A and B are shown apart, each in its own frame.
Chain A
C-alpha cells in the first residue's frame, strides 16, 4: 500500500517516530507471555486473555518485567482476543477485552516503552484455504483493532500467522482503520515454508506491498534457523525485518519436552540478525525476561545497530506458494493467455455452468509448457464476472503455484479480485482512460499491485510510438502521486495487427525498446494480435517474440502451448515492413505448404537392433504403444509367433523380473513392462497354434481378495504378471466370500489359488477359505500375499507365500511343476 487511505486516529506521527527510532537503535521486543502467566499461577485450559483481564496485576507484572529487562516494545496480551477464540470461553465482547488489555499494558510500562496491539490467528483458515470467509475475517480483526486503538496502543503486530490469507485479512483490517506502524510476522516450518506452503520471500513481497511497515518471522524455530529465514528475505525487503525466535526448538530430554536454549546463547545471535536487516528483535516460546535482558546487554555492550534493508522498490509478484522476480536485466516471463473465454466456446460454456475443470487443466498445461504467470479473465456475456473471477482465483490459489495477472475491463471486478487474491497481483491493465485511471490507481496502490501500463486514452489508440511514449509518461506521472515507481509497472508495447497497418510491428518494437532501454521498466506485449488475418500466424508470432526479446521485452502474453520464440526470415521482413503487402511472405507460406505436402515421412534412424531384439527392448522399456507393430515386423521378418513368445518375450519379461529383484527397476517399470508384454501377447495369441505357450496357459490360477477387504491393486498386479507368464487367470475380484472361492475352485482340476489381504482383520478370512477347502476335501494349492501377510503366517496355514508380484510368478511356476 503506497498511500494510506483511511485514517481514524488523529495522531499519526508514530510511523515517522518509529522509522526514526530504528535508524538509531535495534528495537527489542518482549518475550513469551503465556508461560510467564503460567508461572504466576494461570491454570491450564483457561483463556489466557480473560484470565489476564481478571488478574490485571499479574499481566502487568509480565509487561513490567519485560520492560525492566530492556524491551522497547511490549505486546498486549491479546494474541487470542479475537471474537472466534473468545467465543470458545463464553460471552465476551472482543472490542472491550482488547481495550482493557491494551490499557493494562499501557499503564504497566513507562512512556518510553511502546505498546504493540497484538493480533494472532483466529484458528480458522481463511478462504480459499479454509472455511472462514475473507470479509468475515477482516471484520473479526477490525473489531480487535478498534479495541486496541481504544486502549491506546502505539503500534500493531500481526503475528504467528500460518496462513498468508489470514495475515492479509488482518493487515487490511488494520490498514482500513489506522496508519499506525504495523509489523507482520509469519510462522514457518522446518522446510522454511508456512503450513500452507508460503515461503518467506513470497510472504514478504505480499505483505510489504499490502502496507506492512515491517515483516518477519516469529515462533517457528530457534534463532539459528530463523536467521536463515531472515537471510532469504533480506535481498527483497524494502521494509525493516522482524525476528522473534523461540528459545531453540522443543527437545525431548529425560522424557520431558523442553526449550533448552539459555539466554546467553540466545543473545549471541543479535549481531547476525542486525547485519541481515532485522530492526526488531525479541523472543517467542521458551523465552523469558532473562533472554530479553541478555539481548539488551549484548546489544548495548557490543553497540549493535540496525542495518537497514537497501531496497526502495521491487519488481515482483507473488501468490500463496511462490513469487516471481521480474528482473528486467535477467528474466523473461511468459504470461499464459489461455484462461480467457474470449473466442473460446468450450471455456465459455464451462464458466456459464460454474465449472472450473477446464480452468484447472489450462493452468496446469500452461505451467508445463513454461508459463511463469497466468492471465485470468472471466469476461463472458451473461455471467457474473466478479463471482466467476473470484472462483477462478480461489481455485488457482489452491491448485497452482503460478502468480496471477488480473485481467478485466471492469474496475469493480479488479478491485474485488485484488482484495481476495492471496498475493501481489499484476493488473492487466491501466490505461489513460480518465474515468478508469482515477479509480484504478488508488485501488492498485491500496492493494500494492503491479500493473500493466497500456499507453492509450479515451480518444485514441495511438499508432505511433512517440504518442504512446507521451501517454505512458502521463500515466506514470499520475501513478507516482500514489507512490508507484518504475518497478511497479510493466509497459505494454501495444501490439496492433500488421494486416491493417503494416508498420504496426515497428511501432511496437520502438515502444518496447524505449521502455526497456530508456525508461528502464519491464515491458510486455500481447503477442497474437500482431498476426491477426495473416496465414501461418504462429510463424509471425514466434518471430515477433524473438525480435521483441532482442529489443529488451521482459514479458510476453502468449499461448505457451503453441507459441515459442523462433526466428523466421520472411516473417521478420513483414514485421520490419520490408515486404510490402506481405506478398513475399504469403508466397513463402504457399510454397512451404506445397513442399510439406510433397514430403514423405522420413524413415526413422536405422537402429542396430534386429526386429526380434526390438520386441525384447520394447518389453524391457515398457513400450506398450509400439510393441504390436514391432511384433508384426518381427513376424514379417520370419520369426515364428511361438518363437517370439518363448525365446524373446518371456526371457525379456524374466529379465525385467530380475532387474526388479535387484532393485534396478522399480514398480512402475515392472508394471509398464508387464503391460507391454500383455499388449504384445494379445496380438500374438490368435497366431499361436501349438507349443509350450499354449500348454503353460492350461495352468489355472484363481485370484481373490478375501472377504471384508476392499484392497485389490496388489492382486491386480499379480494377475497381470501371471498372465504374462502364460497362466490362465480367473480373477474373482475383492471382498470375495470363502464360499464363492470354493465354488470356483471346484470347477477346476487342482488349481492354484492366490489369496490377498491387506488388513490384520481380514487376513483371518484366508484361514476360513483354506479350512473350508480342507473340510470339503478339495485338492488345490494356495499362495498367500498382501501387506500384512508373512511367510510364517502362510506356513501356519500350509500355504505358499509371495511377497510381491514377481515372487508370486516364481511360486506359481514352481507349484505348477
Chain B
C-alpha cells in the first residue's frame, strides 16, 4: 500500500507560534514599529519560499507487548512510551512533511557570514512552525475522514528521538512513507534533508458509544 501524498498543504501562517519560537514574550518583549515591520516582512518572504507537502499511511497493529508494537507489515516499534500511547489503538498513522528545499537553501545562504543572519533566524522559525503545522493539518484531515467510521487519532503524536523511541526509527518511518518522493533524503545519522522536514506517528482509536 502506498502512502497518501498531500501537495500542496495549505496552512494559516502560525504567526503567534513563530514569534514565540523566536523568544517573543507578550507584555515583556519591546519591539519598535520598524523592527516589527521588518520581522513581518521576513516572515512574509519566508512564507513565499515554503512549499509544504506531506505523506501519510495507515498500518494495522498486529501485536502489542509491554515494550514493543508489531505492525501488520511485520515492522516492530520498540518504545515503552509508544506502547502506552497506542494502548487503545488498532492502527497507527505514519506522517511526514517538508517545507521544501527552497526555504532551507535560503536559510543556509543567509546564515553564512556574508548573509543576513536576522533573516535566517526568522526564516528558520517560520519553516519549523509551518512544517509542524503541516503535520497538524494531516492530523485534522485524518480525524475528519475517520470520524464517520467512529475512529479518532490519539491526542498526542510521537516522533523518532522522543523519549525512548530511538532516533533510528526515523529510517523506518522514512522508508514506510517513501519520503524520497517528496525530495527528502535521510543521512546516516538519521537526519532528514532538507532540514525542515519532520515525521510522526499517531494511534487510531475507536470512538466508543
Contact = CB atoms under 8 A, between A and B. Distances in A.
B35 A256 contact: no
A667 B22 CA distance: 5
A258 B35 contact: no
B185 to A, nearest CB: 11
Contacts of A130: 6-7
B188 interface: yes
Interface string A270-292: 00000000000000011000000
A250 B147 contact: yes
Nearest to A357: B48
Contacts of B155: 252
Interface in A749-771: 759-762
Contact of B22 (A131, A160, A246, A668): A668
Nearest to A33: B148
A669 B24 CA distance: 10
Contact of B150 (A38, A667, A717): A38
Interface stretch (B61-69, B74-82, B92-100, B114-122): B114-122
B107 to A, nearest CB: 7
Interface in A106-136: 121, 123, 125, 128-131
Contact of A79 (B12, B148, B190, B191): B148
Contacts of A38: 150
Interface in A229-265: 246, 250, 252, 255-259
B158 interface: no
Given A622-B35, A761-B189, A162 B111 contact: no
Interface in B9-25: 10-12, 19, 22-25
Interface centre among A361, A368, A671, A719 (most CB of B within 10 A): A671
Interface centre among A667, A712, A731 (most CB of B within 10 A): A667
A285 B150 contact: yes
Interface in B28-46: 28-32, 34-35, 38-39, 42, 44
A44 B90 CA distance: 10
A665 B11 CA distance: 28
Interface in A734-788: 759-762
A125 B137 CA distance: 13
A672 B111 contact: no
A720 interface: yes
B118 A672 contact: yes
Contact of B144 (A187, A672, A674, A717): A187
Contacts of A187: 144
B101 to A, nearest CB: 13
B88 A256 contact: yes
B152 interface: yes
A35 B195 contact: no
A96 to B, nearest CB: 23
Contacts of B105: none
Contacts of A285: 147-148, 150, 207
A189 interface: yes
B35 A672 contact: yes
B189 A667 contact: no
Contact of A716 (B24, B38, B111, B150): B111
Interface residues of A, number: 72
B120 A162 contact: no
A668 B208 contact: no
B111 A257 contact: no
Given A34-B149, A622-B35, A761-B189, A668 B122 contact: yes
Given A195-B137, A399-B48, A716-B120, A665 B29 contact: yes
B209 interface: yes
A666 interface: yes
A219 interface: yes
A123 B145 contact: yes
B124 A759 contact: no
Interface stretch (A542-550, A586-594, A604-612, A703-711): A703-711
Contacts, number: 165
B8 A398 contact: yes
Nearest to A258: B208
A695 to B, nearest CB: 23
A146 to B, nearest CB: 24
A197 interface: yes
A712 B120 CA distance: 11
B178 interface: no
A177 to B, nearest CB: 25
A664 interface: yes
Contacts of B7: 130-131
A17 B19 CA distance: 55
Given A664-B28, A710-B195, A713-B107, A671 B147 contact: no
Contacts of B137: 195
Contact of A197 (B12, B42, B107, B167): B12
Contacts of A399: 48
Nearest to B122: A668
A364 interface: yes
B195 A675 contact: no
Nearest to B115: A716
B21 to A, nearest CB: 9
B197 to A, nearest CB: 12
B70 interface: no
B117 A671 contact: yes
A35 B147 CA distance: 10
A143 to B, nearest CB: 21
A368 B45 CA distance: 12
B183 interface: no
Contacts of A720: 117
A458 interface: no
Nearest to B120: A713
B23 A759 contact: no
Interface in B154-195: 155, 161, 167-168, 187-191, 193, 195
Contact of A129 (B8, B44, B111, B124): B8
Contacts of A663: 23, 25, 28-29
Given A219-B147, A666-B23, A666-B25, A709 B122 contact: no
A600 to B, nearest CB: 26
B140 to A, nearest CB: 5
A438 interface: no
Contacts of A286: 207
Given A252-B155, A761-B167, A131 B23 contact: no
Contacts of B34: 621
Interface in B123-160: 124-125, 137, 140-141, 144-145, 147-150, 152, 155
Contacts of A672: 35, 38, 118
A811 to B, nearest CB: 19
Contacts of B39: 668
Contact of A131 (B5, B10, B118, B144): B5
B35 A708 contact: no
Contact of B167 (A196, A621, A760): A760
B10 A759 contact: no
Interface centre among A162, A286, A669 (most CB of B within 10 A): A669
Contact of A665 (B30, B44, B149, B189): B30
Nearest to A189: B140
Contacts of B111: 712-713, 716-717
B117 A716 contact: yes
Nearest to B138: A195
Contacts of B190: 759, 761
A41 B21 CA distance: 49
15 contacts: A34-B149, A197-B10, A257-B205, A258-B209, A368-B44, A398-B10, A660-B23, A663-B25, A664-B30, A668-B122, A672-B35, A710-B195, A711-B191, A716-B113, A759-B167
Closest 7 CB pairs of A and B: A708-B189, A666-B23, A716-B111, A667-B22, A672-B118, A666-B24, A671-B118
Given A257-B152, A667-B23, A760-B161, 17 more contacts: A35-B150, A79-B148, A189-B140, A197-B10, A256-B88, A286-B207, A364-B48, A398-B8, A659-B30, A663-B23, A664-B28, A666-B29, A668-B22, A668-B122, A708-B187, A760-B167, A762-B189
